[in-house]
Structure 1
Amino acid sequence: MLDTRRGAAGAALLLLAQGTAQAGGFIEDSQGSLTLRNFYFDRDYKGESNISARREWAQGFILNLKSGFTEGPVGFGLDLQGMLGVQLDSSRDRVGTGLLPVQRGSGEAAQEYSELGITGKVRYSKTELHVGTVMPRLPILISSPARLLWQTFRGGHLRSQDIQGLSLQGGYLNRMNQRDSTDYQKITIAAPNGRFDGTAESDEFIFLGSDYALTKALTLSYYHARLDEIYQQNYLGAIHQFKLGPGEFKTDFRWFLSDEEGDGKAGSVDNQYVGVAFGYKLGGHRLTVGGALSSGDSAMPYIAGSEPHLISEYALSSEFLNADEHYWNVRYDYDFAAVGIPGLTGMLRFMRGTNVELPERLGGSGQSESERDLELSYVVQSGPLKNVALRVRNARYQNSFAANATMRDDNETRVNVDYTWKLW
């Protein structure tokens, strides 16, 4: 079993062993940054519910210190990440937003929480191995950035780009740290709406895959992942972009095949998810339409707290991933730089899922859900506030599920103000 803490410490010792004569790249190519993230989260539930709202406000600080690599054929480096979350507003009847940890016993949100991530890294040619704290962003696992602080994992992540046009990736993870936690725990499966046994744990998540640029316009992807004794998954994707008339057309295809692995400790896993989106960009306008079909005896599995790589990606209230769900969406994006306002962008999206299969206690078969998203973002372009980013999002979500389902009718608003200060 990979001991990530020893791995990171070992990498640090190897760095010291290189000596100052070879440390030029280690220091000269280093970089440091401090990100300030202010996050307001308000989910106002409608209809029958024992919780009227989840509403909190918090301030985050994310310090990233990244070294370069020591000189020589094999280079060594070390990255440090410190994260701090501070409560600005919360109450016991409004906790559970994912911004702040909830204290056992009192049921109140913590006043503050923090964590330190250490990553040792080794580079040979265009191949890098990172060991320690890692945050994968892959089709089979996307470390979630959707709250105050990032979700992180412990393990090893190998990436190689030695072959032109081909990116190879593989890794082993044995612990995860959720966005509102400071404790690393065993890896679990997401289980909203009673899909799986969310208490089932695993010490091993293994992944392997590649992205290949077949042409400048077409990229193909394949990944395999296995959460030991819980599920295994294969992913095939394709992105095709080309000029069409005065604009640009994009096709995004995503296919997942999932089944249980080993003893299947989280319950039966049997799912095939096929999704495709078509988009056309003309000037500042982009219109996207997409759809997906989920089939099999279960919903598609993914790691708890992560972001599933779906056509409905980054929906605010639901992931539209229930068993047998038929999904479609229409999305419109506009970049106001086209009319002389650089830094300002907007988005409007409508999503709907039908034919949802739930346990009888949550509504049974033939259920439906829908969500409307609005987003407006602005990055200050000049002056003393240059690069300050403001993002406002609003969602209205409705479903026909039973009142005790995980997803319930709600109106949701999120406001972010982010600024990254480059230290050097």
Structure 2
Amino acid sequence: MRVMKWSMIALAVSASTSQFAMASSQEESKGFFEDQSLNVLSRMLYMNRDWKNNDSDEQSYREEAGLGVRAIYESGFTQGTVGVGVDAFALGSVRFDGGTGRAGNGLFAQDSSDNLEKTQSKAGGAVKFRLSDTVLKYGNQFTSSPVFATDDSRLLPEVATGTLITSNEIKGLELSAGRFTSLSDQTAMGRDTINGTGLKSANIAGATYQFTDNFVGGVAASDIEDFYKKKYLNLNYTLPINEDQSLNFDFNGYDTKGEGQELAGEADNRIWSLAAAYSLGAHKFTLAHQRSTGDAGYKYGADGNGTIFLANSVQYSDFNNKDERSWQARYDLNMKTYGVPGLSFMTRYITGDNIDTGTNDDAKEHELDIETKYVMQSGPAKDLSFRVRSAFYRGSTGVGNDNNDFRFIVEYPLSIL
């Protein structure tokens, strides 16, 4: 990975030399303070999960509520050939509701007595350097690579620690490579391990190329020490029909092999999804198919709980079990066309079968999701959003316990600088 990282740097430098006539991001830098920004996001989340067929000795209901606040500061880059800057963040959350007997939704950490923490806080930062259109960042950061992605599905996001280099020297081409040595989960306030298993190291690389205005492709690879190695492919094409109509095709695929001690268990898996979406004015209709093969289901977590860029990874289930085949039908409605800007609806149904549980090679699962969201369009509360998400999941024995998952989310983003 080290050789590959330096090869990518050499490519970026070579590209910048050949395109010296074009102004780079660093040449257009206004300065450390002149380009700085400070954004604050407040998120209130109420979440409950109600299991319908748990064994009598298992927890059957979870309910928690709280407020999470994150402040993210990003400086500009100093002027000169090599620009220098810093990024920093402060995260904090407070619990409104949730007791020992209802804990477990991942909003708050539990102490040694299994009591939920009342408040949590964490801060971190990273230093960054920019040469032309290539940025190197070292420290605490949030990542969105399809092979190493920090999750943000609760009050606070996961945080990774390491080095990431991103290059945009060639128009339409983005190259990235990195090495991370720590990953803390959404309730961990220090450099804690995730999922009870420590991340030793994660080496990642990726490339995305915009072939045309309507066609983009990407590849990525990772080596998660003593867990697994992954390869990833994405192809996305949009076919415009007219001003109100278009077709979009999105393919995502992973090939995972076990590495070292395979601390997450056997990881031999190949999984892919293909989604086709037809947009007609305010309406969008999506059909998707996803298929998993190999000696195990698709695994993620040690590389971030957001590392599953697949069509049928939805609110509750990921439909990523061994040998599983799943289908999705989805409908989206944007009410702006009908005079209510900011209001939207979504519903989808996913069904999966052919699951190999070890004792049953044709287990099944299905999920129905219903969601509505409203974003304030003007006034003092502009961009304040309200979101309701409901999932109804049912699965065969050995796949998952029947569950109703309900979430109410209020978010308010504020730009200070």
Q: If the length of structure 1 is used for normalisation, what is the TM-score?
A: 0.88
Cross-structure match for 1:275: 273
Which of residues 402, 405, 409 is equivalent to 2:402?
409
Cross-structure match for 1:295: 293
Cross-structure match for 2:181: 174
Write the distance in 2 (CA, Å) between the matches of 1:382 and 1:214: 37
- In 1, are the aligned partners of 2:185 and 2:193 still within 8 Å (CA)? no
**Percent identical:** 30
Q: Return closer, same or farther for 1:224/1:387 CA change in 2, 3 Å cut-off.
A: same
Aligned residues: 386
The answer on 1:205 being equivalent to 2:211 is: no
Cross-structure match for 1:340: 339
Cross-structure match for 2:310: 310
Write the distance in 2 (CA, Å) between the matches of 1:359 and 1:171: 37
Write the distance in 2 (CA, Å) between the matches of 1:276 and 1:140: 18
Judge which range, 70-79 or 295-304, deviates more.
295-304
Q: If the length of structure 2 is used for normalisation, what is the TM-score?
A: 0.89
- In 1, are the aligned partners of 2:234 and 2:253 still within 8 Å (CA)? yes
Please, what is the CA RMSD of the aligned residues?
A: 1.8
Write the distance in 2 (CA, Å) between the matches of 1:43 and 1:266: 25
Write the distance in 2 (CA, Å) between the matches of 1:422 and 1:215: 33
Give CA-to-partner distance per residue, 1:351-406, whole Å, 9 cap, x none.
1111112244xxx422111110011011101222221111110010000124xx6x
In the alignment, residue 262 of structure 1 is paired with which amino acid? G
Write the distance in 2 (CA, Å) between the matches of 1:201 and 1:119: 22
Cross-structure match for 2:264: 266
Name the SS for the 1:103 alignment partner: coil
Which of residues 41, 49, 53 is equivalent to 2:47?
41
- In 2, are the aligned partners of 1:187 and 1:203 still within 8 Å (CA)? no
In the alignment, residue 227 of structure 1 is paired with which amino acid? I
In the alignment, residue 228 of structure 1 is paired with which amino acid? E
Cross-structure match for 1:148: 155
Write the distance in 1 (CA, Å) between the matches of 2:119 and 2:361: 43
Cross-structure match for 1:32: 38
Unaligned regions of 5+ residues in structure 2, if any? 3-28
Which of residues 372, 375, 378 is equivalent to 1:379?
375
Cross-structure match for 1:78: 86
Name the SS for the 1:25 alignment partner: coil
Give CA-to-partner distance per residue, 1:164-197, whole Å, 9 cap, x none.
1101011111111101111323466xxxxxxxxx
Q: Return closer, same or farther for 1:24/1:292 CA change in 2, 3 Å cut-off.
A: closer
Structure 1 residue 52: Cα displacement: 2.0
Structure 1 residue 200: Cα displacement: 5.1
In the alignment, residue 383 of structure 2 is paired with which amino acid? N
What pairs up with 1:11-410 in 2 under 5 angstroms? Answer: 25-49=31-55, 50-104=58-112, 106-186=113-193, 201-244=198-241, 246-304=244-302, 306-307=305-306, 308-313=308-313, 315-360=314-359, 364-402=360-398, 407-410=400-403
Structure 1 residue 121: Cα displacement: 0.7
Judge which range, 318-327 or 45-54, deviates more.
45-54
Write the distance in 2 (CA, Å) between the matches of 1:352 and 1:101: 33
Cross-structure match for 1:10: none
Unaligned regions of 5+ residues in structure 1, if any? 3-22, 189-198
- In 2, are the aligned partners of 1:120 and 1:131 still within 8 Å (CA)? yes
Q: Return closer, same or farther for 1:420/1:265 CA change in 2, 3 Å cut-off.
A: closer
Structure 1 residue 229: Cα displacement: 2.1
Structure 1 residue 318: Cα displacement: 1.2
In the alignment, residue 204 of structure 2 is paired with which amino acid? F
- In 2, are the aligned partners of 1:187 and 1:204 still within 8 Å (CA)? no
